[in-house]
Amino acid sequence: MAQFALVIDLNTCVGCHACATNCKEWNTQAAFGPLSDFDPYGREPHGVWYNRIMTYETGEFPNTQVFHLPKSCLHCQDAPCVPVCPTGASYKREQDGIVLVNYDDCIGCKLCSWSCPYGCREFDEADKVMKKCTLCIDRIYDETLPPEHRKPACVLTCPAKARFFGDIEDPNSEVYKVIKERNGFVLFPDMGTNPANHYLPRTETKVHIDEHILKPDNPLFLEVIQKHYKGG
C-alpha cells in the first residue's frame, strides 16, 4: 500500500520559513482552509499553521550550533489520532496513507491533539474544528496542474531544496532512495506510531576560512583577517 510522506533534509534547511509561509498562503484559500489568524500584526499574533519551524541552539558558547526542525503532521502509519476520534472525523486514507480531518464530523473535542505525541494538530478557534497538514491533497491529485507542480506547496517553494515528497513504500521513488542512502530517521520511534515523514540527519563540516572565504578578489575579508592577525 502506498504511503505518501515528506522527507526533510536537516543538513540543508536554513530555517527561512518559506515552506511555512507558502503552506499558509496555499491552504488558507484551498479545499481545507481557511487557516485563521488572530492579531497578526499585534504583540501576540497566533493562529493556525499546518507547518511550523522549530529552531534550537545546542552546545555552550563559543561552541554553539543552531539547527532548524520543520514540523507538520507526520501522517503516521499507526496514527494514534484516528482511533480516539469519537465521530470518525479523523481518518487515514487507504490509497495513499494521508491522514485527514472531516470538518463536517469534527466536534472540536481535541482528543486527537491530546493523543498526538508530536503536537502537530492545530485547533481553529474561529471554526471550532481541528486542522492539520493534508500534504496538499488538493494539489497532488489536480490534473489541471503540470506534473512537476503536483507537489505540496512547501516542497515547491523551498529555496534550499531541503524537502522531498513521494511514496516511501515505492523502492523506485526519490524519497525511498534518499531515506536508504542517507540514513533517514523518524521522530520518537519508541512511541510506536510509525511516522511516515522522515528526516535526513545533520552532518558537521569544518570550513577553513583562509581556503574558502578569503580570496584575492575579496579585499573586505582580506582586510579584516589581516587586522585580526596583527592584533587589531
Give the pLDDT confidence of 64-78 residue by residue, as tens digits: 889 999 999 999 999
Given a cut of 80, is residue 13 above it in pLDDT?
yes
Give the pLDDT confidence of 15-41 residue by residue, as tens digits: 999 999 999 999 999 889 899 999 988
Give the pLDDT confidence of 81-95 residue by residue, as tens digits: 999 999 999 999 999
Residue 212 is predicted with a pLDDT of 52
- Residue 138 belongs to some domain of the structure: yes
- Residue 77 belongs to some domain of the structure: no
Distance CA 112, CA 194 (A): 16
Map residue 26 onto helix, strand or coil. helix
User: Model's pTM, two decimal places?
Assistant: 0.86
Q: At 225, is the pLDDT very low, low, confident or very high (cuts 50, 70, 90)?
A: low
CATH of the domain at 19: 3.30.70.20
Strand partners, 131: 122
Strand partners, 163: 8
- Residue 110 belongs to some domain of the structure: no
Give the pLDDT confidence of 200-219 residue by residue, as tens digits: 999 877 666 555 555 656 66
Residue 122 is predicted with a pLDDT of 95
Residue 36 is predicted with a pLDDT of 93
- Residue 115 belongs to some domain of the structure: no
Tell me the average pLDDT of the chain: 91
Residue 40 is predicted with a pLDDT of 85
Residue 45 is predicted with a pLDDT of 87
Residue 112 is predicted with a pLDDT of 97
- Residue 178 belongs to some domain of the structure: yes
Enclosing domain of residue 27? 4-72+133-211
Domains identified in the chain, total number: 1
Q: Around Cβ 38, how many Cβ atoms within 10 Å?
A: 12
Pairing of strands 129-131, 163-167: unpaired
- Residue 175 belongs to some domain of the structure: yes
Distance CA 71, CA 64 (A): 22
Give the pLDDT confidence of 150-188 residue by residue, as tens digits: 999 999 999 999 999 999 999 999 999 999 999 999 999
Residue 165 is predicted with a pLDDT of 98
- Residue 144 belongs to some domain of the structure: yes
Q: What SS3 string covers 204-220?
A: CCCCCHHHHCCCCCCHH
